[in-house]
Amino acid sequence: MRITLIGASGFIGTRLIDVLKADYQLKNIDIQPSHFFNELTFTGDVRDYNQINPLLSETDLVVLLAAQHRDDVTPTSLYYDTNVEGMKNVLKAMDNNGVKRLIFFSSVAIYGLNKNNPDEDTPADPFNHYGKSKWQAEQILQEWHKTHDDWNIDIIRPTVIFGERNRGNVYNLLHQLASGRFIRVGKGTNVKSMAYVGNVVAFVEYMIEKITQGYNVFNYIDKPDFDMNQLTELVCNKLGKRIPSVKFPYWMGMAGGYFFDFIAFISRKKLSVSSVRVKKYCSTTQFDSTKAHNTGFIPPYSLQEGLTRTLEFEFIHPRTDEISFESE
């Protein structure tokens, strides 16, 4: 099978290429070079149909990962240029090249914050431009499939993904705990759904082989979920660190977040602390993944094993190179 991945020079795509390369003929299209698989990588931008179209020749399946995903992208129009208009360009290029299978990485961000364990049938209610643009991209796919019902379109909505070499919100939490600079905000009973990258790419491989017809949408979360207190305890115990005993109330954490927003505004610098990130940290982000796990897919790692592998790689037996991937 000939698979073209779009936007696979980053964290998830690199792991996915590593898993698929032995069994499939792969090509990666990205605006950035690949640290590990540059021999498979061609320069292309989903915002430019003329770049994407010729690169989708001789392809059986497209895996679309390309997206603007950080929560501080400016101008905000970039979310829609890449995530929405980019989707239109990819579909047009696929149609032109006779490609009828697509796996699209969406996000649980389409559900919004503090929802009650939403499943795939829960109405979309995104609260930020990333979630709104991902939902618009899904709506384009819904309309497309109505007139292209012989296509196989599989959508995966993963929760926050963590793992080795990732530099996102989960890593920031782990790093703060490892360094002893972690500040607990709120009661800590808010639940955080997470997914280990090794399981996410394994599920994508499963979709490639087993979910080959129709229009399908799957949340992906590794279960069981941890709340922030449980996660903090697990990480501190693994690292041999003291569990922070002081908890600051939510209002104080948000005040600090707004202060850092102001500093970022006047300095024109992107900071690791913001009101948006404090809000996300203190919110419950729990999602239902019954549908994905009922397909017969068995994750190769438990959530605790994924955290342990990440902690060992990053903090207990750290590697010597400095290659890492920025994400949320």
Per the residue annotation, which of 111, 130, 196, 281 is the catalytic one?
Answer: 130
CA distance 256 to 254: 5
What is the distance between the terminal CA atoms of the chain, rounded to a whole angstrom? 31
Is 301 a residue of the active site?
Answer: no
Please identify every residue annotated as catalytic: 130
